[in-house]
Chain A
Amino acid sequence: MSAFFDILLTIGMWEAVLRIATPLIFGTLGVLLCERVGVLNLGIEGIMSFGAMAGWLAVYSGGDLWAGMLAAALAGLMFGLLHALMTVPLGLSQHVTGLGITLFASSLSYYIFRLAVPTSSSPPTVEPFRPLPVPWLSDIPYLGPTLFNQTAPTYLALVLVGMLAWLLYRTPLGLALRMTGENPHAADAQGIDPVRLRIGTIMVGSALMAMGGAFLTLAAFNSFFPTMVQGRGWICVALVVFASWRPGRALLGALLFAFFDAYQLRLQTVVDGVPYQLFLMLPYLLSILALIVMARRARVPHALMQPYRRGER
């Protein structure tokens, strides 16, 4: 029994929690932004894959790591624009458009990857982000190496949570965003253009998703391979429901999720006789469980999935 507990005392375990949580934080914030203005973005899974590829490709072809993050963000903006144009002015089905974006973005990322690396030998690697110890703070026993010895994008993700919470609840823009997601007619009456605001927000949200993908190739791993996103995007969509569309709780959800993921990974090596697939199923089953627990309690943005056309109800 003590082996189960011993895992919790290792620094590696807690360090991994933040590392695993980082792409989920980026993705969850991206989904949260889109849904807060009333648009479901199921493109996330593909946008993350494309972000992972774009980030990797930028660094592989000589750019520095932040150029990679930027390339991913720009690609995310473009896919966000595509999703936004189809779902906002045209008012097409957000479900189907999002799935279409996912299929398109992921297959396009595989296509471009294969163009860059035609032979199917082992995928070429890049030099990933190194852990960046925060002076002083990283010397605190236990807490230091886990919280303050992460890669730069992880810190960025944590800062973004605070920034997004501040933006949503403490700024006029945040009020406009939330109003657009609750009642675009009211927002329009206040002189806010729901269409433009939705398009812009979806673009920014998609850029965050793509940066979450880029974290996979530029920090968590050091190469790109097809299907590497492995449902992380869908998990982010579930986490947003779990978080009741609030940034702080989204961070909590991502950390909680990452904790279980890091724990099951280590548990696999300790427990004998249990098929490893059962452990790998846990993250997905946990996400479903989170949805069940929160489904009735969650306060969904009122206008989620409702297209807005001026003068049409």
Chain B
Amino acid sequence: MRFERRDQPSAVLTLLAPVGAILAALVVAGGLIAIAGANVFEAYGLILKGAFGSRLGISETLTRATPLLLTGLAAAVAFRARLWNIGAEGQLYMGALAVAAVAMVPGIASLPGALSIPLCLAAGAAAGMALLLVPLGLRLRFGVDEVVTSLLLNFVAVLFVSMMIEGPMRDPLAFGWPQSVPVPDSALLPKLLERSRLHAGLLIALAAAVVVWWLQSRTVFGMRSRAAGLNPRAASFAGVPLGRTLIAVACLSGGMAGLAGAVEVMGVKGYVSTDLSPSYGYSGIVIAMLANLNPIGVIGAALFSAVMFVGADSMSRALGIPSYIADVTVALSLLTMLVAIFLTQYRIRR
């Protein structure tokens, strides 16, 4: 058996790849559900029902998809340029912390929302950027591989957040759990739906997907970032300023991750705590790959992950299957997607 490269990746297969990958992941995860002693179809039925079966389910799914969409974009943008940003989790936390910090500035509470909301969002994005510029700087200056440094910075960032919310940013009125001083009402994102947690962050994330798509497919920056990813040497010979391009990519990627933290604080929590993100940053990597790094595809992939997470929570309550099954399925879909993409590019010959 050997593999033969296709001249042109099959367009039909490329579109089918994520579907096949998700189905394959669901089949394997189904085996794990069966091992746990539950009826697989009933479990998947309950997952779908939990995610879509009620007004609450739908609004929760969309709320959950919001940060995932942004971290998915963060990974997609970076990976396209072969910038291995695995630090979205830390960038998300720094973005969240920046919002809380801005909210503590005297006078912010009296600003109108039209001013304070953009200000907080910008601060969040900027903090995410700043954190990603560290590993990128180390790569450009010292030749340090950014994978490990951006991973390690995740731990540093969460510890930093913990230090701040137990120290200078601690909410004196919150008993027990350490959390930051709450964000004033004027900086909270408006709700999209009464009596739900769904907030305008979803619109921001959707707009971000469109903006990223436009940047990548319609601008010089997009062309350069793709060239830097495909073949940095050739790109450099062709006059692409590699360093500058990567810095721009890092700003966009880190900005998206920082924004994810910002909208989570301004839309859902209202304050920062160290349980803000159930590894949204890492899930973003899966989402970007499932979308084949396409910004519009990220919307669908984020939705799939959100359905799994929200649905598995309610299925878990009904059947007693650990809700970690959602994490397992999402992680598996990354592995199956890698194989699926391979099959779009290669033929198997005997």
Contact = CB atoms under 8 A, between A and B. Distances in A.
B285 A231 contact: no
Contacts of B289: 96, 100
Contacts of B159: 277-278, 280-281
A96 B336 CA distance: 12
A280 B152 CA distance: 12
Given A86-B335, A275-B167, A284-B156, A96 B285 contact: yes
A286 B68 CA distance: 31
Contact of B322 (A42, A115, A277, A287): A115
Contacts of B155: 230-231, 281, 284
A238 B327 CA distance: 26
Interface stretch (A106-114, A150-158, A183-191): A106-114
Interface in B49-101: 79, 84, 86
Contacts of A263: none
Interface string A255-282: 0000000000000000000010110110
A111 B331 CA distance: 12
Contact of B282 (A89, A90, A103, A115): A103
Contacts of B126: none
A89 B346 CA distance: 12
A277 B338 contact: no
A108 B322 CA distance: 10
Contacts of B325: 111
Nearest to B135: A288
Given A110-B322, A231-B152, A280-B159, A90 B339 contact: yes
A277 B244 CA distance: 34
Interface in A273-313: 275, 277-278, 280-281, 284-285, 287-288, 291-292, 295-296, 309
Contacts, number: 128
Given A90-B339, A97-B338, A284-B156, A111 B328 contact: yes
Given A231-B155, A280-B159, A292-B138, A111 B338 contact: no
Interface stretch (B139-147, B183-191, B203-211): B139-147
A100 B328 CA distance: 10
Given A96-B289, A104-B328, A111-B324, A292 B144 contact: yes
A234 interface: yes
B163 A278 contact: yes
B328 A107 contact: yes
Contacts of A277: 159-160, 162-163, 166
B149 interface: yes
Interface in A74-104: 82, 86, 89-90, 92-93, 95-97, 99-101, 103-104
A104 B166 contact: no
B152 A295 contact: no
Nearest to B326: A107
Contacts of B338: 86, 92-93, 96-97, 100
A62 interface: no
Contact of B148 (A230, A234, A280): A234
B9 to A, nearest CB: 15
A99 B86 CA distance: 9
B149 A288 contact: yes
A108 B332 CA distance: 10
A115 B138 CA distance: 42
A265 B189 CA distance: 41
A152 to B, nearest CB: 30
Contacts of A238: 148, 152
A275 B144 contact: no
A118 interface: yes
Contacts of B45: none
A174 B192 CA distance: 63
B127 interface: no
B32 interface: yes
B335 A100 contact: yes
Interface string B109-138: 000000000000000000000000000001
A288 B32 CA distance: 38
Contact of A281 (B142, B156, B339): B156
B335 A101 contact: yes
A243 interface: no
Nearest to A239: B148
B152 A92 contact: no
B144 A104 contact: no
B153 interface: yes
Contacts of A103: 282, 285-286, 327, 330-331, 334
A114 B162 CA distance: 27
Given A238-B152, A277-B159, 9 more contacts: A93-B338, A104-B332, A115-B322, A231-B155, A238-B148, A275-B166, A288-B149, A292-B138, A292-B144
Q: Which 4 A-B pairs have the closest CB atoms?
A: A114-B322, A107-B327, A103-B331, A277-B163
